[in-house]
Amino acid sequence: TIDTAIMLGLPIGQYDADKLVNLGLNRWFGRIAFPVKYHFGVFSRGYMKSFELIPSVWLFDENDDFLGQKLENDPLWQVEAHLTSDFTPSFWGSLDLLYRGGFQSEVNGVEVGEELDIGNLGFTLNYQVNDNLCIRTGFSSNDIGDSSRENSMIRLQFVYGWHNDNENNKKLLGH
């Protein structure tokens, strides 16, 4: 499958030009992505394997009131990839890659800091407890690109999802 995904961030929320950190951004931003997914073998729950590739670009408007100055950022280029496999109908895992580059910042036309050049390798494990709840864990570490930006992350998530269609389907099936 080949898709297109578009995300748009609006400059809403409180913004205080005198503070470095704000919940509001005082600028528009967006992401354009082209996810590609290729399935190997059987396309049935518990047997699926896939390769996913998601190239994308993040675009940022200028912030004309960043601590009384103008902040601009170059596009942020991103590539995400996953090699996934079902182990059972309710347990799957993936090997993950995330690379980000670009995003050079300028304040009043003067470059500040360095461009991003960072990539993370890791894995994800997901267990579907029931129709509504899953437990997801994973690990990733910066192993590609700029070694001065070293980071590692261990993640544990409890995801609860509910949708009317799922609940109606359970009623129809007598669960």
- Are 52 and 74 in contact by the 8 Å Cβ rule? The answer is no
State residue 173's pLDDT score. 74
Q: What is residue 17's predicted lDDT score, i.e. its pLDDT? A: 80
- Which pair of tokens denotes residue 1? 């499958």
pLDDT, tens digit (0-9, with 9 covering 90-100), for 39-51: 998 888 888 999 9
Helix (H) or strand (E) run with residue 171 in it: helix 164-173
Contact by Cβ (8 Å): 22, 15: yes
Does position 74 have pLDDT exceeding 70, yes or no?
A: yes
Mean pLDDT for 153-172 is 83
Residues 112-162 have pLDDT tens digits of: 988 989 999 999 999 999 988 999 999 999 888 776 677 899 999 999 987
pTM comes to: 0.80
